[in-house]
């Protein structure tokens, strides 16, 4: 029973949040006259001493005492005696742990936002540096149209921006204080829940005592947010793995984020990217874990909910490491502009530009222009050349009105320069987008959706 019941090995990470909640509760009890000032002072002094013990590594965590709450309360009683027994007045472990956990998740969200912002900053710098670096854009992993590397990287900046918006939304919704809900029904003591909520940085107390102690949707939302962010990291990691492969050779990671082979001395393996790609499974798995834990629980608290913290802690650790690794990879990556430019010209990547020219200059309906271009692509394939290598006579054989001006749109440089629409890949547009991304995502806290510093 002790083995299955004890949670101290996991929830010891809540120590600072538990002590902060106890201090706020103690001060409220003194302010409302429920606890004497002398007892309140003794409790705070004792809690400060426990903080010092934990920081020094001398605090002894006991599995016999089951959880972090009882470990701290027991040590407080050893230090100050009788006053420690009064701290739990008008409080239950149910509202205590719900408060501690919300505080921990709130801190984790702030950390997550800071890391996502750092990755955005690294990607924006690379995007600005490579605003004019032409590379192939893909659909179905087949060459589709030329784009710029800067444009490609800014796509991930936008994804991370939405991730940070979800972080802000999650933080705003969880920022209600369960303390004072007691076991499930509230308390008969004349407590001041507004006071404790304010002291702990919450916007307001939870409105319903049963909801306050029994729900963990804030943890679910954290895990859902984390899972979506992890998927974005995994997609980027997959591209890094592809780009670093010899057949592509678009990118080279720094030595700090590459590994060698035990047998092949020439190898430079993008292991950090591969591990980030793999770790998304852990984060998604922990979201599923908590969903399943909660799915059949009646109100209010049940011991099943003890399983909530391990899932969140593991996901947070996994994502923290993955974000740090990805930021390091992006900051130190070097890109092979010549190889990218060469690849951008393969696969008839400017076929769409030809079709657009036929519409714009000759006035052909797009569907007809699409068919004409398809026939010209087939002609080029038969001859083993690019569209731009066909003669003007070859072009006119499919559409008599074509002029020599058509060749101006067939080069990959001209193709990307022509994509000037909002959100397009033209180098000047990418540079403006990078500047705007700095303003939106890096300049102020409000840019993240209102996360408080």
From the candidates 130, 261, 341, 370, which is the catalytic residue?
Answer: 261
Q: Quick one: which of 197, 120, 204, 195 has its CA closest to 441?
A: 120
Q: Quick one: which of 67, 31, 20 has its CA closest to 177?
A: 20
Q: Quick one: which of 118, 317, 330 has its CA closest to 237?
A: 330
- Alpha-helical regions (H) of 419-453: 427-437
Q: Quick one: which of 309, 409, 399 has its CA closest to 350?
A: 409
From the candidates 62, 74, 140, 258, which is the catalytic residue?
Answer: 140
- Would you call 261 a catalytic residue per the annotation? yes
Q: Specify whether the CB–CB gap between 124 and 438 falls below 8 A.
A: yes
Give DSSP secondary structure letters for 6-32.
--HHHHGGGHHHHHHHHHHHHHHHHHT
Sole residue written with tokens 């499974």: 281
CA distance 148 to 31: 63
Q: Quick one: which of 173, 181, 208, 171 has its CA closest to 21?
A: 181
Residue 400, classed as helix, strand or coil, is coil
Q: Specify whether the CB–CB gap between 276 and 332 falls below 8 A.
A: no
CA distance 257 to 239: 15
Residues with a catalytic annotation lie at 140, 261
């Amino acid at each position: 029973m002790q083995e299955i019941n004890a949670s101290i090995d996991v929830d010891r990470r809540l120590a600072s949040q538990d002590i902060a909640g106890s201090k706020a509760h103690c001060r409220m009890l003194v302010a409302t006259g429920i606890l004497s000032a002398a007892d309140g002072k003794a409790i705070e002094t004792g809690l400060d001493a426990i903080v010092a013990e934990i920081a020094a590594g001398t605090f002894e965590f006991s599995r016999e005492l089951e959880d972090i709450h009882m470990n701290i309360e027991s040590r407080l009683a050893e230090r100050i005696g009788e006053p420690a027994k009064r701290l739990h007045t008008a409080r239950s472990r149910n509202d205590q742990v719900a408060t501690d956990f919300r505080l921990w998740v709130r801190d984790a969200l702030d950390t997550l936002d800071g890391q996502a912002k750092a990755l955005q900053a690294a990607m924006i710098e690379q995007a600005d540096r490579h605003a004019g670096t032409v590379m192939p854009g893909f659909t179905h992993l087949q060459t589709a149209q030329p784009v710029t590397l800067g444009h490609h990287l800014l796509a991930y900046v936008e994804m991370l921006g939405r991730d940070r918006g979800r972080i802000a939304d999650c933080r705003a919704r969880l920022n209600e204080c369960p303390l004072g809900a007691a076991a499930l029904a509230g308390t008969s003591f004349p407590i001041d829940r507004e006071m404790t909520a304010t002291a702990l940085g919450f916007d307001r107390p939870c409105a319903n005592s049963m909801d306050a102690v029994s729900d963990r949707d804030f943890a679910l939302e954290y895990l859902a947010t984390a899972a979506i962010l992890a998927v974005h990291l995994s997609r980027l990691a997959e591209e890094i793995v592809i780009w670093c492969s010899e057949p592509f050779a678009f990118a080279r990671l720094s030595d700090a984020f590459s590994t060698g082979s035990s047998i092949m001395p020439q190898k430079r393996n993008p292991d950090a990217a591969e591990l980030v790609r793999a770790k998304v499974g852990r984060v998604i798995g922990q979201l599923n874990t908590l969903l399943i834990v909660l799915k059949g629980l009646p109100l209010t608290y049940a011991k099943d909910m003890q399983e909530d913290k391990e899932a969140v802690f593991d996901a947070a650790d996994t994502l923290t490491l993955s974000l740090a690794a990805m930021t390091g990879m992006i900051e130190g990556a070097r890109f092979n502009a010549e190889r990218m430019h060469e690849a951008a010209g393969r696969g008839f990547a400017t076929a769409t530009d030809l079709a657009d020219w036929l519409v714009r200059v000759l006035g052909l309906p797009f569907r007809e222009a699409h068919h004409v271009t398809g026939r010209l692509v087939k002609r080029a394939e038969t001859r083993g050349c690019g569209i731009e290598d066909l003669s003007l006579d070859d072009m006119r054989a499919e559409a008599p009105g074509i002029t020599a001006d058509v060749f101006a749109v067939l080069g990959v440089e001209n193709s990307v320069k022509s994509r000037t629409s909002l959100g397009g890949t033209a180098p000047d547009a990418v540079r403006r987008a990078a500047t705007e991304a700095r303003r939106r995502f890096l300049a102020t806290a409000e840019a993240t959706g209102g996360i408080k510093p």
